Every structure is written in C-alpha cells, then in structure tokens.
Amino acid sequence: MNRIDRYLVGKFLFNFAWSLFAFWVVFIIVDLVEQLDKFIDKGVPLQYIALYYVYFSPYVLILVAPIGVLLATLFAVGFLAKHNELLAMRAAGLSLWRLAFPFLFMGLMVTAAAFAAGETVYPQAESRRAELRNRVIKGTVQQAQMLLQNLYVAGAAGRVYYFRSYNTGQNLGTGVTVQTFNAGRLVESVEMKSLWYKDSAWVGENGDRRVFAATGDSVVSFESFQTTIFPAWSETPEDIVRKRIDPQQMTYRELKEAVGRMRRTGADPVEEETELALKLAFPLINFIVVLIGFPIAARTRQSGMALNFGIAMMITFVVRVLYEIFRSLGHNGEITPLLAAWAPNLICMAAGIAVLFRVRK
C-alpha cells in the first residue's frame, strides 16, 4: 500500500470506529432504558448489569457493522470530495476504480471479522447472556436448565429421540422413545420408562425394542428389557441440550451437522439450510455497502453529515428488508436456500456496480 492508500484507510478506520462506537452506545442506552425497571425490581447488582451488556456487545457490533462501514465510506469519501482532495487525487492520474480499492479492501476485512466473530465470540456471548438473564433477572434458571419437557432431538445414524421430560442436571430422561430411520423408513423403535447417561453410554430401563421389516410395517423382532446399554448411540447429554439452540446462534459447523442429522432422519431442514447459507452470505453485506456507498459519496460533492447519515440509513434499511424478505421465502420453501441467501447480495452488488459505472472515472 502506498501513502495515498494508507491515508484513505486511515480516514475509513477513523470514521468506522466513531460510527461503530456511536451506534453501540445508542443500542446499549435504548436497551438499558427498556430493562431498567426489571433490573431495579430484581435488585440486580451493578456488576451483573455491566456483565450483561458486555455479553450483549458482540450482537450489537455485528448488527451495526454494515451501518458503520457505510457511514465510514460516505463520510471519508464525502469529506475528501468536499475539500477537493478527491479531485486532486484524480487529477494526479488516479482513477476512481483505484481510489475505491482501499475502501473495498476494508469492506472485505470487516466481512472476514464479522464472520469470524459470528463463529467464535457471538455464540458464546449470547449463551452466557441468556444464562445471566435467566439466572439474575428472571430468576428461572433452575427450571429452564434442569427440566425440559417434550423434547425432540435428531441424532446420528437416523435416530430421533423423544423425551417426555429430561433432567439436564442428572442426564436423565423419562418417557423416552428412540426411533431409527433409514431412507425415511422406520427400522427400529425403542420405548422405555427411563434413559440416563453413565460412563459414556446410554442406559435404558423398563422398555421394549421393536425391529421392523425392510419392506412393510411388520415387526420382525420384539424384546422387553429391564436394563440394557446402548453403546451405538453416540449422542452425549451436551448434544441433547444443544439441539434446542436457535439456528442463528449456532456456528457454521454446528448448524451443518444439525442439517446432516435432519436429512438422515428424513426431516425437511429447509429453514436450517437457509440459515446455513446465510452464515456465509450475510457477512458480505459489509463489502456490498462499500460498493454502493463509494460512488454515491464520490458524486455528492457537497455532502454533509446529515445527508450522508440519511443515505446510510436508507441504503441499510433497503438491504435489510431484502434479506428478511428472501429469508422468509427460504424458510417457507418458496425458493431454494442458496437463492434465498445470495439473491440480496447479487441484487445489491449489481446496483453498486451500476452506480459505479455511471460515475466519471
């Protein structure tokens, strides 16, 4: 990178940091005002309130990063144009394409950072925030974490678990049915009074096992048992609980494994597949808003903070609406998950390239 590149990157980072900080403060203050009465009623200590918003921060920063990137681009390029610095650079022989490179590069860096945060920091922070909210604010953590009712879990090798109740503290389920499917056909069903996890294996008590024919629904094998071990059932208690996590709060690998399990059991994971594709597609919005915002800022010679802020809000709103529309279409199976995830990117990228081509280089 030459001196001009470093200068442009410095301008971008300065505006990006301030934009991100400003939106983070606004989000925290708004949420604090909404939650303040609950904090006071429960007598939540100040350190727990601070810790709650530390865990809340990754979600806020990932959410407002596209707005921060767009504002940073608009402010940096707008002020360069307003003070004739952009004109001087272009008079020196630098095309608009070349001047856009540092901003597009930073958009890619923010995209990579957003994806990395979504795979590492964000899921853990959201889990701890939910735990802190239940334990300190709602005071219901024991019931929420210790006893789960009517729990369905898709396991490996076509297994589907049903627990009428599951105690996470004792790793004990009651009223348990475990069905095994092959190509959508039921091949085995085990019903038992209780099932618990001991010494890295599941142990069933007071149950019946039925094995079905490869064709038809006839039972080819039936046995009752008092106590038996199921060493082939590879799921752990952590797997049983983790399947209840919102797909948007899973990492890419966890969600991909969940989709694979659902496919093996014959379920239709269209919603999960849409969220899986969005894991890769959505962070790219941080690059796309630069592609849209840079030529707009370059054309607006007398742009001020109010105008740039309004443009940023409008563009961000339109892009988010597009994502939510296509996400809903993907969840409902109206379009393929891949199209639902990437169509907004393609539309916005085409719009950005069209605007960039219309600007004099």
Would you list the domain boundaries of the chain? Answer: 3-120+273-358, 147-247
- What number of H helices and E strands is found in the chain? 12, 6
Tell me what pLDDT residue 266 has: 58
Q: Which residue has the tokens 């390029």?
A: 77
**CA-atom Rg of the chain in angstroms:** 27
β-partners of residue 188 are: 180, 211
Rounded-to-integer distance, Cα 361 and Cα 358, Å? 9
For 240, the token pair is 């049983």
Cα–Cα distances in Å, from 39 out to 46, 87, 136, 147, 236? 9, 54, 9, 26, 36
Instruction: Give pLDDT tens digits for 35-54.
Output: 888 888 888 888 888 998 99
Tell me what pLDDT residue 221 has: 86
Q: Which residue has the tokens 């070349």?
A: 98
β-partners of residue 148 are: 166
Give the architecture-level CATH label for domain 147-247. Answer: Sandwich (2.60)
Tell me what pLDDT residue 106 has: 93
The residues of the chain scoring below 70 in pLDDT are: 1, 137-146, 216-217, 242-246, 248, 261-262, 264-267, 299-306, 308, 359-361
Write b or e for each residue in 261-279: b if 16 or more Cβ atoms lie within 10 A of its Cβ, otherwise e: bbebbebebbbbbbbbbbb
Smallest CA-to-CA distance from 69 within 26, 113, 25 is with 113
Tell me what pLDDT residue 18 has: 92
